[in-house]
Structure 1
């Protein structure tokens, strides 16, 4: 984790700063042809300002600066190919040197990302199990990664809860990061009441994500314990390495977040989960799929990945093995896993990877 959040960003930002010096130097050379020293000084200052604003690399400044560098490097490749083409585009050299194309492309990408973040879709899955009877069905609503206060307000959530209620769920599963460091106490309490008002056959269940407990803020507006008490008072079952049996054959296993040092092993928790029940595992981060299959989990629901949020981070995370699955459905032996992209986003109101969603899972008998 230290490598991911500190060493890797430093290794990325050093060459990024060097390249941006060259980039700004090229632009300023158009306007300061006679004052080379001033052009160099301003280029260095702009490059340093970009690197400074890009720390941490996963913040809003980092996203903007890395997009600028990435898009500009692609344009460098285009320039290389054009210079070697048999035809000559007379205006190209001016367009290339001015850097205007980089800023135009970034504006288009971020505009799309902003609009994409505002649109929430319904995604449906239909899975089978031999643990429910032929005439039965189980409809599950899965909500995750709302990060209340970033792109969605408590009022917005109230409206969405009313819309999702129309799906007539049997279970409502809240798979973590419903709240985060930008969630105020009053807004958290209002949102908890909205979630608790949702009607379902077997109840509403919640597990912590890595942001819910405010561990990344020195002076949080509320504690993890206060959050739990508020949710439970509103009628939401909060599970921390706990098993909850509901209905005739349903067992909900809710895990602490993978980053929690006090997290129990699944094997230890499963002692309280009847073998003949339909076992649903709620785990914010989508990991340990093979082990979860060995322990007899039938369905795992997770979030955390945001399906990347900023392309291509999701694909890179999966390639590097940081996330076992970036998004969607996967079958591992008898285990069926659904990973949602979440209803909103973290850090900034931009999504260029994936889409925002709530998920409907219809579980039917496969007998």
Structure 2
């Protein structure tokens, strides 16, 4: 009977874990990790204290695994729904004394997972009250879970935000619905909705914002038609403040060589499930997992995003929108 139950449990684990990035897969991976951790704890207790009846009763019952997993998921659910403001103050020699550029950065909302269009509207109002000079949307605002109606509503909400230089958007790897066979809408539909909302969609393009700021928006790094930054910048004016939006935080050395002053990215979620972010950075999958870095004259800020992908759990990092103030040294 025990063997039958064990086989059934194993079969259930395989079934639910098959979509590795879904709820089942995340739960099973946590189950395995916690079980291995408790095995280590049990080994240490036996070696240092010998047999302990109360501990062995609880340990062998298996209940500790599920209690710990429930606590982790409860925290992860709570953490996913807490959005904070993160501020940076940086300097550039291209700014004169008294000049200031206030940037609002939003990324990785993945509309439909934990945030709906009405929630987004409320957050946009909070950000608007901080009087940004420019509003940047660094990709994955939408994804495979976003309904077409939600996408269209959100485009209007984002387009209604007011700033000196406007709202600029770059695609992330999920925006174009490339990971599903039957998407709710096409990439072209999203692009049209954004443009109708007066949002500047940049796809390997450089545009002037005012007299002194050049905003450069890249196609996602996974796009096979993506141009090189050198090609994009061949006709840009000299002596501007070069502000680059690239969804995935890469190519930092090359971007520095091309004279970029500030790069803004998202994508990593700061490691939505701990410790994936740290592992990705350690293995070189992401050049930077989260926060600020200076590479030569290039300053880079990577946001953890306002929400998460796939499931409403975040055990790594936090959710945020970012306000950046650029001033003279």
Residue matched to 2:63: 100
Residue matched to 1:153: 116
Residue matched to 1:193: 156
Q: How do residues 170-319 of structure 1 correspond to structure 2 at under 5 angstroms?
A: 170-319=133-282
Among candidates 77, 81, 95, match of residue 40 of structure 2 = 77
Among candidates 336, 344, 358, match of residue 299 of structure 2 = 336
Say if 1:244 and 1:251, in contact at 8 Å, map to a contact too.
Answer: yes
Deviation at 1:87, TM superposition (A): 5.5
Q: Distance in 1 between matches of 2:234 and 2:119?
A: 40
Distance 1:39 1:87, change over 3 A: closer
Say if 1:252 and 1:280, in contact at 8 Å, map to a contact too.
Answer: yes
Q: Distance in 2 between matches of 1:345 and 1:272?
A: 37
Deviation at 1:226, TM superposition (A): 1.0
Higher relative contact order (CA 8 A, sep 6+): 2
Aligned length: 329
Q: TM-score w.r.t. structure 2 length?
A: 0.98
Cα shift readout 1:88-112 (whole Å, capped 9, x = no counterpart):
5321111111111110000000000
Matched residue of 1:308: which SS?
Answer: coil
State which structure, 1 or 2, has the greater radius of gyration over its C-alpha atoms.
Answer: 1
Residue matched to 1:56: 19
Cα shift readout 1:150-188 (whole Å, capped 9, x = no counterpart):
000001001100111011000100000000000001000
Residue matched to 2:93: 130
Say if 1:301 and 1:337, in contact at 8 Å, map to a contact too.
Answer: yes
Cα shift readout 1:72-99 (whole Å, capped 9, x = no counterpart):
1000001111112236532111111111
Q: Distance in 1 between matches of 2:32 and 2:259?
A: 47
Q: Distance in 2 between matches of 1:246 and 1:345?
A: 30
Say if 1:204 and 1:236, in contact at 8 Å, map to a contact too.
Answer: yes
Whichever structure has more helix as a proportion of its residues is: 1
Cα shift readout 1:41-91 (whole Å, capped 9, x = no counterpart):
221221122122112322211110000110010000011111122365321
Residue matched to 1:162: 125
Say if 1:145 and 1:178, in contact at 8 Å, map to a contact too.
Answer: yes
Q: Distance in 1 between matches of 2:278 and 2:128?
A: 33
Structure 1 stretches of at least 4 aligned residues deviating more than 6 Å after TM superposition:
none
Say if 1:125 and 1:361, in contact at 8 Å, map to a contact too.
Answer: yes
Matched residue of 2:249: which SS?
Answer: coil
Cα shift readout 1:224-251 (whole Å, capped 9, x = no counterpart):
1111111011010000000111111000
User: Which blocks of at least 5 consecutive residues in structure 2 are unaligned?
Assistant: none
Q: TM-score w.r.t. structure 1 length?
A: 0.88
Say if 1:273 and 1:279, in contact at 8 Å, map to a contact too.
Answer: no
